[in-house]
Amino acid sequence: MKIFHFLQPFSYKQVPEFTRDNFRLYFENSDKVMIILVIIQWFVATFVTSMMYDTYIYGFVSGGVLTLALFIAYKYLAGTPSMRALVAIVMMLFSLVYIQQHLGRIEMHFHIFIAMAILSLYKDTLPIIIAAITTIAHHLIFNYLQYYEVSLFEMPVMIFNYGCGFDIVLFHAIFVIAEMFVLAYIVQRQVQHSIELHKTENELVGVNEKLRYSSMYDSLTGLANRQNLYDKLQYITANSNRHKNKFALLFLDLDNFKSINDTLGHHIGDALLKVIAIRLKSVLRENDLVARIGGDEFIVILSDIKNEESILEGIEKILSIFKKEIIVKGKILKSSTSIGCALYPDDSKDINELMKYADMAMYSAKAHETNNFKFFTKSLDDNLHNEVNLVEDMHRALNEREFKLYYQAKVDVNTKKIVGAEALIRWEHTTKGLIFPNTFIPLAEHSAFILDIGKFVLCEGAKFIKKLELFGFDDINISLNISTLQAKDIQLYDHLKHAIETNNIQAKNLSIEITESVMVENSLFASDLLHKVRALGVSIHLDDFGTGYSSLQYLQKFPIDAIKIDKSFIDEIKKDNEKNLILLNTILIMGESLGLKTIAEGVEEQYQLDYLQKKKCDFYQGYLKSKAIPEAAFIELLKKQM
Ligand code: C2E
Ligand code: CA
Ligand code: CA
């Protein structure tokens, strides 16, 4: 029946899974509390009674037997429903002991109401029901014993000796049953409340767990994040100090991640990172550590390193995962990484420094070729210091006008006449002598300082165009190298316009050289800006063509006038060997068909020029004609050809 549903007893197996352990523990603990209460009852049955009657010895013996029985049961049945049933029976049997010792005095029976209430501590209806049944059973049995005048503890069995009759027994029974219902209801509520409480607690634990997870792990790849890495490194360094062993910290940076992200979209980039994370984990040993600390930057800790071979082994394994092609969303991707390695404690005992060293080694690796690695060495650190000094020195040099533009002739392949020049910057350092751009331009490009250099080049270049005009050369085109940062700077247009107007030069005599990276990153903006620049009358040349993405799409979308074919293609033109020139030929044909001028860079030999002429290349630059030379020397060169 539904209304008696709440009388249903509980066991931890009935409650929801998440709180079972709590209930099991609770039942076991309650068993212990009950045993203590039973011992107290035993004490009462024995000693308190002894003050009034000399029958306490019966209390002592029978109470002792009951208590001992519970002790033994606890050993085998702790936490089970049987144990609870047994506790209920024992509690009620004490009532029998009391009343019998007190010659059937009815008030000695009142304690059963307290005992039943105590049983509600269990949060289970079973002991309460059992207690009620025990009480009723003992009345029935004792009535029977009284009827046959049986004696117990050397006294006749008496149920209520105050001359009370069946009506009192009935009342008594009704109260016991009423108490049973009340307590069962209370217990039911308690159980439900406990379950709710545990549920909320559980949910909180879940939320905490999630928070902890997201603060420790990278959400994309599931690898440890930077914070987690630092935490673990504390432990790893302590461990390695204690056991006197070494570990290697590898700094990984993907080589082409940015272009994958820009050309194929972030979802492909993300998927690639996930695949790489999985592969990294799969090739490393269990006690090695992988963390993702930035966009495409990973740290790997190879622990317990015995010798250099074991590091190389680890690095080989990592490099091998990039050799297999990666298929992401149906696209085959080629990815590679550069790895820098620093050793604990050899290179440094400071974690931050170790990271810095591995990072430096990685940069040095990247500068060489893809899928490469480098160990940290002291000289790398020295180089860095030199670089820092150089960067500081550059600011001074710009103010003190130590930078100069040199000019390398651009020559018409057919007429062999100089038609223009490329301005190439030089640093005429007061103490160090002539410094070439490859040493300082990449450094300047790390900061906005390249914009200052760019402005300087623009000013000087425009002034030189005016100067040439004054010398009577009003048809010489000067091209200026524009770095990526500058080509993405909206001010480029204003600066060009300003330079043309203030020097009063013809815009057709000015060209800018940009590289393909300008178009790849933020191509819409770049395309707008370049269209505006071109509208000024300035021509746009695509530098180092063939080394980057070389996408036809860009060539069509962007306002390009000429492509500069990278020196590496020209180097392929060998004497008496015109093989392997498919790429060069294709570029030349492509240029012609798209209506773009072609300029060959780095022409050093006559046969190279002959070949280029045969293949209809338009212009060339190179040592064959002239190196980059100072202004005055270039003007002399022009004068000679008049
Ligand atoms: P780039 O624009 O590709 O310049 C061509 C480089 O090849 C120049 O080196 C030039 O001197 C060199 N070169 C020319 N002909 C030959 C040859 O026949 N044989 C050989 N072996 N080399 C030849 P440079 O002047 O050291 O410039 C290096 C790079 O520095 C340039 O590469 C350019 O990217 C950058 N750069 C130079 N000047 C500037 C500038 O004013 N602004 C910016 N942003 N970058 C510049
Ligand atoms: Ca150039
Ligand atoms: Ca070039």
Tokens of 230: 């630092």
Would the pLDDT of 1 be above 60? no
Among 424, 443, 518, name the best residue to mutate to test ligand 1's pocket (greatest count of ligand atoms within 8 A of Cβ): 424
Residues flanking ligand 1, CB < 6 Å: 408, 423-425, 436-438, 441, 457, 481, 483, 543-544, 601-604, 621-623, 628
Residue owning the nearest CA to atom 23 of ligand 1: 602
How many Å lie between the centroid of ligand 2 and the Cα of residue 586?
Answer: 21
Would the pLDDT of 365 be above 90? no
**Residue in this structure with the two tokens 């690898």, named with its chain if needed:** 223
Tokens of 318: 């990592």
Would the pLDDT of 391 be above 80? yes
**Residue in this structure with the two tokens 């940069």, named with its chain if needed:** 363
8-state DSSP, 220: T
Residue owning the nearest CA to atom 10 of ligand 1: 628
> For 460, how many CA atoms within 13 A lie in the half-sphere containing its CB?
23
Q: Please tell me the number of the ligand nearest to residue 628's CA.
A: 1
Tokens of 437: 């751009």
Task: Give the model's pLDDT for residue 383.
Answer: 78
Tokens of 183: 């307590």
Task: Give the model's pLDDT for residue 117.
Answer: 93
Among 452, 481, 484, name the best residue to mutate to test ligand 1's pocket (greatest count of ligand atoms within 8 A of Cβ): 481
Would the pLDDT of 631 be above 80? yes
Task: Give the model's pLDDT for residue 161.
Answer: 64
**Nearest Cα to 213, choosing from 232, 199, 227, 230?**
227
Q: How many helices (H) and strands (E) does the chain have?
A: 24, 19
Task: Give the model's pLDDT for residue 371.
Answer: 59
Give me the percent of the chain exceeding a pLDDT of 70.
96
Task: Give the model's pLDDT for residue 326.
Answer: 83
Q: What's the alpha-carbon Rg for the chain, to the nearest Å?
A: 46
**Least confident piece of the model among 343-352, 382-391, 613-622:** 382-391
How many Å lie between the centroid of ligand 3 and the Cα of residue 600?
Answer: 9
Task: Give the model's pLDDT for residue 549.
Answer: 65
Residue 60 to residues 17, 48, 97, 135, 158: CA-CA distances in angstroms? Answer: 44, 11, 10, 21, 20
Residue owning the nearest CA to atom 16 of ligand 1: 602
pLDDT tens-place string over residues 551-591: 777 788 889 999 999 998 999 998 776 767 888 998 999 89
What integer is the mean pLDDT of 587-608?
Answer: 94
> For residue 621, how far is the Cα from the chain centroid?
49
Q: Is 8 helix (H, G, I), strand (E, B) or coil?
A: coil
Would the pLDDT of 596 be above 80? yes
The minimum-distance atom of ligand 1 relative to the CA of 604 is 18
How many Å lie between the centroid of ligand 2 and the Cα of residue 564?
Answer: 8
Q: Please tell me the number of the ligand nearest to residue 602's CA.
A: 1
Give the number of other CB atoms < 10 A from CB of residue 173.
15
**Least confident piece of the model among 58-67, 261-270, 413-422, 573-582:** 573-582
Distance separating alpha carbons of residues 190 and 122, to the nearest angstrom: 10
**Residue in this structure with the two tokens 């069995």, named with its chain if needed:** 157
Would the pLDDT of 176 be above 70? yes
**Least confident piece of the model among 16-30, 321-335, 481-495, 523-537:** 321-335
pLDDT tens-place string over residues 514-539: 988 888 766 778 889 999 999 999 99
Q: Are 348 and 340 in contact (CB under 8 A)?
A: no
Task: Give the model's pLDDT for residue 105.
Answer: 75
How many Å lie between the centroid of ligand 1 and the Cα of residue 424?
Answer: 6
Q: Are 139 and 159 in contact (CB under 8 A)?
A: yes
